[in-house]
Amino acid sequence: MSEAPQTAEPGCPPMPVLFVGHGSPMNAIEDNAWSRGFRDLARLLPRPKAILAISAHWYVAGTFATASERPETIHDFGGFPEELYRIQYPAPGSADLARRAVALVGEERASTRTDWGLDHGTWSVLLHLLPAADVPVVQLSIDGRLTPAEHLAIGRALAPLRDEGVLVLGSGNITHNLGHAFAAWRRDDHAIPDWARSFDEGIAKALAGHDLEHLAHAPGGEAGRLAHPTPDHYLPLLYAAGASGPEDPVRFPITGFDMGSLSMRSAIFG
């Protein structure tokens, strides 16, 4: 039997919302600036009763919530060291939270599934943030057919979870052009291109000002098309921004670029 998320104590502030730039799966096993940053996030957040994670790596035709009691640790990558494939993140699931998320989004638009688990967009962050794996985790898929405004609307629909002690976690990257990043890595080129810096700074300004209009349209601009040849790693940010409110202060506890152009910026709303 899964544990239902509980309503927060009266007078308690809503749970913050978190967006994390997760970067390479290697951050799960390396001691580097990014993995240390993920660990430091634990000091900045109250302990959640459950987590609803929106990862760039469950990008499908539909909105689904994982309802498994013991979600599988998915190693959704290739060509990495064997050590990485041995990692397990045995957090419990929560069918109750999955059903609650579906109800908030609308049963005509969302449903539960048990054929997915926790992909590396989720577990490579959480094994640093919550290494005991003792908080229930549910993943919500990203429907690749929807517009940015519709993704923001789903995030907004999920906002009541914050009053129930649930951490809404978006996991992607604010810039994510792997073709450029791998080419720079092979050249050992750490220069940050202008398009990556300008896109990252523009998004940071929009997040701080709760400018949802800018967030919805930014990927369509010249820098946005370079920052995101495909939208999958950008869209988790829209769920986090949608679940936040205009009264939420916004902090950026992790900033910087990996592999030249991969923004690792994280944001805490609230």
DSSP secondary structure string, 197-235? HHHHHHHHHHHHTT-HHHHHHGGGSHHHHHH-SSSTTTH
| pLDDT for residue 6 | 42
Whether the pLDDT of residue 113 is over 70: the answer is yes
Query: What are the phi and psi torsion angles at 43 (to 5°)?
Result: -75, -15
The C-alpha atoms of residue 68 and residue 82 are separated, in whole angstroms, by: 26
The C-alpha atoms of residue 174 and residue 106 are separated, in whole angstroms, by: 28
Q: Which of 68, 46, 2, 246 is nearest to 166 (CA)?
A: 46
User: Under a CB-based contact definition with an 8 Å cutoff, are residues 193 and 263 in contact?
Assistant: no
Q: 4 pLDDT band (50/70/90 cuts)?
A: very low
Among 86-95, 137-146, 179-188, the range scoring the smallest mean pLDDT is 179-188
Q: Which of 144, 146, 147, 152 is nearest to 168 (CA)?
A: 152
Whether the pLDDT of residue 188 is over 80: the answer is no
| pLDDT for residue 147 | 96
The C-alpha atoms of residue 117 and residue 129 are separated, in whole angstroms, by: 18
Contacts of 135 (CB under 8 A, 6+ apart): 47, 48, 49, 50, 51, 91
The C-alpha atoms of residue 254 and residue 111 are separated, in whole angstroms, by: 33
What is the average pLDDT across 17-22? 98
Contacts of 178 (CB under 8 A, 6+ apart): none
Whether the pLDDT of residue 186 is over 80: the answer is no
Using one digit for the tens of pLDDT, what is the confidence trace for 151-173? 999 999 999 999 999 999 999 99
DSSP secondary structure string, 81-97? -HHHHT--------HHH
The C-alpha atoms of residue 180 and residue 156 are separated, in whole angstroms, by: 33
Using one digit for the tens of pLDDT, what is the confidence trace for 56-93? 999 999 999 999 999 999 999 888 999 999 999 999 99
| pLDDT for residue 57 | 97
Q: 179 pLDDT band (50/70/90 cuts)?
A: confident
Among 34-38, 112-116, 187-191, the range scoring the smallest mean pLDDT is 187-191
Using one digit for the tens of pLDDT, what is the confidence trace for 117-128? 999 999 999 999
Which residues face 250 on adjacent strands? 269
**What domains lie within the chain, and their CATH numbers?**
17-269 (3.40.830.10)
The C-alpha atoms of residue 138 and residue 159 are separated, in whole angstroms, by: 15
Dihedral sign for Cα 30, 32, 34, 35, please. positive
What is the average pLDDT across 35-57? 97
